[in-house]
Structure 1
């Protein structure tokens, strides 16, 4: 055998292995900083997120646009920074929030919240009126209104606390909510429009809103799909449902005693969404 030909084949093989490792590592770091896995525990987001489900959180899209009303977000809990909560954004900076019983009003517009199950409707907290969301803060509620500790309880979520947007439910299979979380922006379509309607030209007032003809896949969902499907994120393993878990962050629910120490407020024992972060050292 020609020694030069044999050396060339060996070098080509080594080069391909190195290129494959570099590409795999690059994709790993891109995906690792773009999305994050969480394991849901608790009932505070029923019926849209179930107990014991695995979800993917999109950390990428908020680098390009601000969180929006209706987004389901994962964030560091203001009452206890060692915990992470999952809730839905109801008010963004500058919004004026009023809650009377189970009625939620944003900037004078009463919300018809299609994502809230009437059987889980409720409000264990005092009603309030005209509470303004501060700059760089968000007002959030759990979909299970009768059993969630949220902004009605402990106040607003600072922007810096937001980890990302809950984008996809992927495990266990066969659940009624598998796939991308639905777009509920239509619930908030009238917010702010009443205040500025007299200033808009007639052509704008009669034009259908973009939310009335949504795309099958939103741009950030398309980006998430492109990140997901070129290479598998999880491999078969020994743990939960055939998927390997490498690290745990738990949302432990509402620890009333800890919150009483920090805030001096009494609250009912409510169930909150809990999660386990499946990738190590992902901040």
Structure 2
């Protein structure tokens, strides 16, 4: 009789442990089913490497990129629109035109169909609304910072002119020209690390 009781207790313990691990497996499968599509198709992590976006983005920071930002879809997650036009000032991650295996982070300066001119430390934009051009005011840059270089570009359709915020230490469109829309991965949505600098980047 005692042996039967011990056997029943052992079976209950076994079933309890087995049930616990079964729940763990269920949770893991659910996480894979839910998180992986979000990770692969909606949001991408990105580690900042180098000083080209200082002081606004530092080396080693961990960012989340919204891949839906410039793609046409009906999805809307966390009140984030799934399709919008790229705007001047957007911080984006894209594939380096000369080596698509590399990912860069820069700021959008010139839009499709515009002419952009870098001269005397400043950036000038020419477009339909400003045929004579206007000097670009960049409040996100440190006061007194100048844009090095002397270039004049006509930006074609489906192209964008990008620059790093650290204008004196950035390889960007001033060096290798505008980027294609097809190179764009997405818009920087938030800074997740370090925790004390956590920030969500709205329009």
User: Do they fold alike, i.e. is TM over 0.5?
Assistant: yes
Asked if 1:95 is matched to 2:122, the reply is no
1:127 to 151, 173, 187: 151
Moved over 3 A (4+): 13-23
Q: How many residues align?
A: 168
**What secondary structure is seen at the aligned counterpart in 2 of 1:174?**
helix
2:37 aligned residue: 30
2:95 aligned residue: 76
> Which of 1 and 2 has higher RCO (CA within 8 Å, sep 6+)?
1
- The alpha carbon displacement at 1:119 in A equals 5.2
Give the 3 Å change call, closer, same or farther, for CA 132–29 of structure 1 in structure 2. same
Alpha-carbon RMSD across the aligned residues, in angstroms, is 2.5
1:164 to 161, 168, 186: 186
Give the 3 Å change call, closer, same or farther, for CA 19–174 of structure 1 in structure 2. closer
Alignment check: 8 A CA contact 1:101 1:127 kept: no
Write out aligned runs for 1:163-242 (5 A).
163-175=185-197, 178-181=198-201, 183=203
Counterpart CA distance in 2 for 1:45 and 1:173 is 19
1:198 aligned residue: none
Runs of 5+ consecutive residues of structure 2 not aligned to the other structure:
1-15, 72-82, 127-132
1:46 to 25, 44, 54: 54
Give the 3 Å change call, closer, same or farther, for CA 174–162 of structure 1 in structure 2. same
1:113 aligned residue: 138
1:55 aligned residue: 63
Give the 3 Å change call, closer, same or farther, for CA 38–16 of structure 1 in structure 2. same
| TM-score, normalised relative to structure 2 | 0.73
Give the 3 Å change call, closer, same or farther, for CA 14–150 of structure 1 in structure 2. closer
Greater strand proportion = 2
| TM-score, normalised relative to structure 1 | 0.53
**What secondary structure is seen at the aligned counterpart in 2 of 1:49?**
coil
- The alpha carbon displacement at 1:25 in A equals 2.9
Alignment check: 8 A CA contact 2:122 2:146 kept: no
